[in-house]
Structures are given as C-alpha cells and as structure tokens.
Amino acid sequence: MHREAPLRPGSGPRHLAFHPGGGHAYVLNELTPTVTVCRWQGEDGTLKPLAEAQVLPAAPAGDAYPSGIAVSPDGRFVWTATRGEDVLSTFAVEADGARLRLLGTVPCGGDWPRAITVADGYLYCANERSGDVSWFALDPETGLPLYDGRVPVPAASCVVLD
C-alpha cells in the first residue's frame, strides 16, 4: 500500500487479507466488529472501500474484538476469529470478491482466539487464554469449519505453517 485507505473512522483496522484473484482485499476491523471489502489497485497501491460486513449474526452480548482473518486459496470463502465471543465466522465471497455474506459462526475451540491460518483443507486457530491451538476440517462445499482437535500451546498468539 502506498496511500492511506479511507476506512470508517473508529473502525479500528487490525488485519488485511487479499483475495487470490488480486482485485480485492479484506480489512478486519477490531472495534466495530466488521470486515471492510475493498477494491485493491496494485498498480498504484490503493484500497477503495466498497462494502462492510458484520462478523457476528447479532449484536454481541459482551466484548467482541475481531483478531484474525484468512481467505481460502480458491477465493470462495473468508474466515475471521473474534475474541470475547470466541467464535470463528465463515463468509461466502460473492460478486467476484466484491461482497461477503456471513454464513455462520462456530465456537473457536478455546478462549481468546488471536490468529487463524488456513492450509490443506484445515483452519488453525491460536487461542491465547486457553493456551492451545485448535484445528478444524473445512467443508469444501460450504466452507464451514468442523472442530477436529487441539493441542496445548501456552499463550498461543499466532499460527505459522511452513
């Protein structure tokens, strides 16, 4: 990025993920809790906000701080993690990347999810307060994560697969 992106004041942008098609980016907003869909213009490094999607199906009962975002390698799905509510949200990517539709949420498998990553048909979630990394098989048709297990990792705050 070569310029400041004109996001909604007070939204609290936290993370950015690009659609594999190259024309769109998704900005996860920690304070609102939303994802801003942007048109990405790589040639001049600008983001143009197009739409905003709520990461939760209803107003949160308490704290809700989105913390991580990932895009499927085929560009059909976006996932987010939200601390406080301790959920993973699944979005369908529509309009060639220009719109997100919330499909649903599932528990993250721990407490206070900090980061997520997707690889080889699985979503991995670092849960800081419960001190573990949980993993989920991803349904290839719906994108919905299905809990598959977890492993202790004290103060887990990121997941890097190499």
Note the pLDDT tens digit of each residue in 9-24.
Answer: 999 999 999 999 999 9
Q: Where are the domains of the chain?
A: 13-152
Tell me what the mean pLDDT of segment 39-61 comes to.
Answer: 92
Pairing of strands 46-54, 65-71: unpaired
Instruction: Give the pTM.
Output: 0.95
Residues 32 and 89: their CA atoms lie apart, in Å, by 15
Say how far residue 88 (Cα) sits from the centre of its chain. 8
Q: What is the mean pLDDT of the chain?
A: 95
The answer, yes or no, to whether residue 4 has pLDDT greater than 90, is no
The pLDDT of residue 129: 98
| Residue 77: count of CB within 10 angstroms of its CB | 24
User: What percentage of the chain exceeds 90 in pLDDT?
Assistant: 88
13-152: what fold? Methylamine Dehydrogenase; Chain H (2.130.10)
How confident is the model over 136-161, as pLDDT tens digits? 999 999 999 999 999 999 999 999 98
The pLDDT of residue 159: 94
